[in-house]
Structure formats: structure tokens, C-alpha cells
Amino acid sequence: MDKRLALLAIRLLVSVNLLYAAIFLKFAGVPGSMTLFTQMSQTVHGLVSQPVFRLGSGVFETVIAVLLLIPKTARFGARLTVVWMTAVLLSHIFVLGYGCSYRCSHGDAAGCHLSPADAQASIGANRECGTAAPI
């Protein structure tokens, strides 16, 4: 019984996390989310538009969350979650770059989603700026 409760709790937590990302970030059209998916769209040379990427991933995450909540489809939902999170991780590493954001003492943002080389250059530039503190 304890194992079943633990698995149910994990399924609920993963489902809530996926639903939060889908509803409040992707479906709502948060500017940061729109920027991220615009960059993804530009990576594939506009073959898939930003709204299709953003809303499509939101629908897919919602479907996975529902599958995880239904006991008979939970295993399939878990497999889809692993595939989805692998794709998300790889896209963040190879397409979007590493997230690194530093701010100078006078308020200039150094950037977000930088490649490793740009992140190092940005960090070096902020050191010259005065007090570089991570955001």
C-alpha cells in the first residue's frame, strides 16, 4: 500500500508540474515563453511557427499529465514523460544554449539563454562593469 501511495504522489507531482508549464506558461503566452519558442522556430528555419511549437508542446504536456493521472495509462504516460523530458533537455543544450544571466550594478542585463562562449564573454564583461551578481 505504501508503494502505491508513493507512486500516486509522484504521478500527481509530475502531472501538476506539466500542467503548470502548459497552462500558465505556454497557453497564456508569457513573453519569455514566446521568445523561447520563437528561437526554436528560427532554428528550424520557420518550418514550424512559434505558436505551433508553443501551443503544440502545451497540448502534448497536458495529454501526458492526463495519462499519468489515469491508472491504466500511467505507464504509457511515464514513458512519454521520459521521451518528452529528453527532447526538452536536448533542445535546451543544443538549440537554446545554456541559461546564464548576470546583471551589472547599473542594471544592464547580460542576456539569457547564451551559448557557452557567449556566457563566458558576458561574465567577463560584467566583471569590468563593477559588481557582477547573479540574478
The tens-digit pLDDT sequence of the chain (135 residues) is 688 899 889 999 999 998 888 888 888 888 888 888 888 888 888 888 888 889 999 999 999 999 999 999 999 999 999 999 999 899 888 888 766 444 444 444 444 444 455 544 544 444 443 444 444
pTM of the model: 0.67
121 and 55 assigned to the same domain: no
pLDDT at 119: 46
Total tally of structural domains belonging to the chain: 2
- Is residue 59 located within the same domain as residue 118? no
69 and 91 together in one domain: yes
What is Dmax (Cα atoms) for the chain?
Answer: 59
Same structural domain, 18 and 54: yes
User: Is the domain of 113 the same as that of 83?
Assistant: no
Do residues 88 and 111 share a domain?
no
Report pLDDT for 67.
Answer: 94
Note down the domain range covering 129: 102-134
